[in-house]
Amino acid sequence: MPMGGGIHRINSWPDWRGPSIEPLFGPTYKGVAVDRALSDAIVKCIIETAAYHLEAIEDFSEPSMPLGAAQDLLKAGHDTVAVMQPGGWKSANVLAHYLEHVEHNAWQ
C-alpha cells in the first residue's frame, strides 16, 4: 500500500493497485491488490467503524444508508422506479412512507 499521509495515499491508490484491477476499492492480500470489489458486509463494517470513531454511531442505522441514497437519487431527478430498485422497495407507497419521516423532504 502507498506510504505517506492520507491525501498522498488516496492520490496514489489508482497507480498502486494497477490498471488491471477494475474495482476502484477492493481488498488487499499480503500487500497486493485483489481484483474483487469489497463485499456489502465489509463496506457496512467500514462505515460503522468510521461512525464509531467519529462518535456518530447513534446516528447510524441500517436503513439510513438506503434512505439517504433514495433522497440523493430523488434530488438528482431520478424517477421513483429508479429509486425503488436499488433500495429494494416493491411499492412507491412504502418508499413514500420511509421518506416522509426523514429530516429533509426530498419530494419537494
pLDDT per position as a tens digit, 17-34: 888 888 888 888 898 888
**Contact present, 18 and 32 (Cβ < 8 Å):** no
Query: Please, which residues have CB within 8 angstroms of residue 74's CB and are 6 or more apart in sequence?
Result: 80, 83, 99, 106, 107
| Residues 63-97: tens digit of each pLDDT | 566 777 777 787 788 888 888 877 777 888 877 77
**Which residues have CB under 8 Å from 35's CB, separation 6+?**
20, 21, 22, 23, 26
Cα–Cα distance for residue pair 63/45, rounded to 1 Å = 14
Residue 83: which of 93, 94, 95 has the closest Cα?
A: 95
Q: What is the pTM of this model?
A: 0.42
